[in-house]
Structures are given as C-alpha cells and as structure tokens.
C-alpha cells in the first residue's frame, strides 16, 4: 500500500527542551496506525507538527508525496488551513468544541473551507445518519452534550471536510469504557466504509493496539518500538509499561 504520510527524522524544540528527537514513521493509505506512550512523551506535539501548528527544528514531513513541512532553516511548510484543504483533519485532545454554538453550527465550522452549499448539506446529513444522537440534538447547544457526544461531534466536524487522513488525539480521554468502545467502533467504520486513513494517538494502549494494524511507541520524544499491533500487544516491554501486566 502506498504511503500517505512520511515523517522523516523530525525534531521539535520548545526553547531548550526537545519534545521530539529525530522521529521517523510512515503511514500507509487505508491503514489505522496507533501511537502510544505516556503523558509527556510528545504524542500531541507530533500531531501538531504534522499540521504545522509547531515548527520543525529538523527533518521534514510529506503528505501524499508532497513536502508539507520542513525545518525552519529551509522552511517550505504549508499553512494549517491549506493542509485541511489538501485532506488532513485533526480532532484535538479535549475536543475543543464551540460550546455556545449548536451541534449543526459546529459541523458547519468543520466545512468552513468548502464552497459548495449542497455538498455541505449532504455531508451534514451523512454525519447525522452516522451519529444518530447528533441528528436528534442538532439544534442543541454543544455545552449540553455529554463528553461522549461531544467527542462524536468533534469527529463528525473533522469529517465534514472529507479528509483522506484523520488525526485523532486521545479520542477516549475521560470517557466511560462503554462510550470509548462505541467511539472506537465508529473509528473502525470510518476507516472501512469511507476509506479514511487514521492516525490514532491514545494513552489507552490496549484499546489503541487492538484498533490498529501497526503502531509506534514514543518515549521522551523518541520512537523506541514499532511494528504490527498484534505483536506489540504481546511484547514484554509494552505489556509491562503500558498494559499493566
């Protein structure tokens, strides 16, 4: 399968602190890839680097065979909003919903770069069909939704731009186990039915590894393990550090 995302030896620094150190990885089109690691390992920083919300100190990132991010010395990075138009969507940690807007208005914000009103209307109906609870509550203010419903809405908002690559930052954070399972079922359906490639960052390592085909393990800004997810599930280092075994 062709690679859709290539991360080539990137480093990110916040002042004197190196958050990522020469990280390299590939994401094949059509896959679900997981990135696991403890709090502070650099997982969210990596997602922000992919969408150029933080600058690269070293290395480069390519999407769909085209360079979209480079280090500051040779900066040719594509602005975040143009990456959205090219087909990358990010669901950030904590959801970042527009609490005083309705569910439908939030979905409209996900399509702010789409010029076709009929396409926007069709995409909203697709989202309401896919997440029936959102259709039932489309006129409600987002602040009235539960955490799980807000997470579903954040994913639906990202899908409004018809992305090729969906970046998910801790989609199960703070949610009840049954709700997390429902979210992950939806992620699998998005991947299988809509052929959207998924890059999943999740602290729940067991859930992430079961949901993905391959995975990377990030520790202190370094990739320390990678491989098929089913192999990492039985890896002694992973089991001891992340699975509580």
In which element (H, E) is residue 119 found?
Answer: helix 117-130
- Domain architecture of the chain: domains with CATH: 3-87+163-241 (3.40.50.300), 98-162 (no CATH)
The reported pLDDT for the residue numbered 142 is 92
Contact assessment for residue 87 and residue 103, using Cβ atoms and an 8 Å cutoff: no
- From its phi and psi, is residue 82 left (phi > 0), alpha (psi between -120 and 50) or beta? alpha
Q: What is the three-class DSSP state of 13?
A: strand
The reported pLDDT for the residue numbered 243 is 83
Pairwise CA distance, residues 134 & 124, whole Å: 10
Evaluated on CA atoms 197, 105, 46, 201, the torsion sign reads negative
The reported pLDDT for the residue numbered 56 is 93
| Segment among 58-62, 96-100, 212-216 with least mean pLDDT | 96-100
CB atoms within 10 A of CB 182: 15
Query: What's the average model confidence in pLDDT over 217-236?
Result: 96
Say if residue 146's pLDDT is above 70: yes
The reported pLDDT for the residue numbered 75 is 62
Among 234, 226, 229, smallest CA distance to 210 is for: 229
Instruction: Read off the pLDDT of residues 96-143 as tens digits, 9 standing for 90 and up.
Output: 888 899 999 999 999 988 889 999 999 999 999 999 999 999 999 999
Say if residue 74's pLDDT is above 80: no
pLDDT band at 62; cut points 50, 70, 90: very high
The reported pLDDT for the residue numbered 203 is 84
| Segment among 9-13, 94-98, 149-153 with least mean pLDDT | 94-98
Write the CB contacts of 88 (distance below 8 Å, at least 6 apart in sequence). Answer: 50, 51, 63, 163, 164, 165, 167
Instruction: Classify each residue of 52-86 as buried b or exposed e, where b means 16 or more C-beta atoms within 10 Å of its C-beta.
Output: bebebbbbbbbbbeeebbbbeeeeebbeeeebbee
Say if residue 21's pLDDT is above 70: yes
């Amino acid at each position: 399968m062709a690679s859709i995302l290539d991360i080539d030896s990137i480093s990110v620094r916040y002042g004197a602190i190196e958050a990522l150190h020469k990280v390299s990885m590939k994401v094949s089109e059509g896959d679900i890839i997981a990135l696991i690691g403890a709090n502070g390992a650099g997982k969210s920083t990596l997602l922000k680097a992919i969408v150029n919300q933080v600058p690269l100190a070293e290395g480069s990132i390519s999407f769909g065979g085209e360079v979209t991010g480079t280090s500051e010395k040779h900066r040719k990075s594509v602005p975040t909003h143009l990456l959205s138009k090219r087909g990358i969507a990010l669901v950030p940690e904590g959801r970042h919903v527009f609490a005083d807007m309705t569910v439908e208005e939030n979905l409209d914000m996900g399509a702010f770069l789409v010029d076709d009103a009929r396409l926007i209307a069709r995409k909203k109906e697709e989202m309401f069909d896919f997440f029936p609870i959102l259709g039932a509550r489309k006129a409600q203010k987002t602040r009235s939704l539960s955490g799980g419903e807000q997470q579903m809405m954040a994913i639906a908002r990202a899908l409004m731009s018809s992305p090729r690559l969906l970046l998910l930052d801790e989609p199960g954070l703070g949610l009840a186990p049954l709700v997390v399972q429902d979210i992950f079922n939806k992620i699998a359906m998005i991947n299988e039915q809509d052929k959207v490639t998924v890059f999943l960052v999740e602290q729940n390592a067991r859930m992430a590894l079961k949901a993905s085909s391959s995975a990377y393990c990030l520790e202190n800004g370094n990739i320390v393990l990678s491989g098929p997810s089913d192999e990492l599930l039985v890896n002694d280092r992973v089991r001891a550090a992340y699975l509580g075994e």
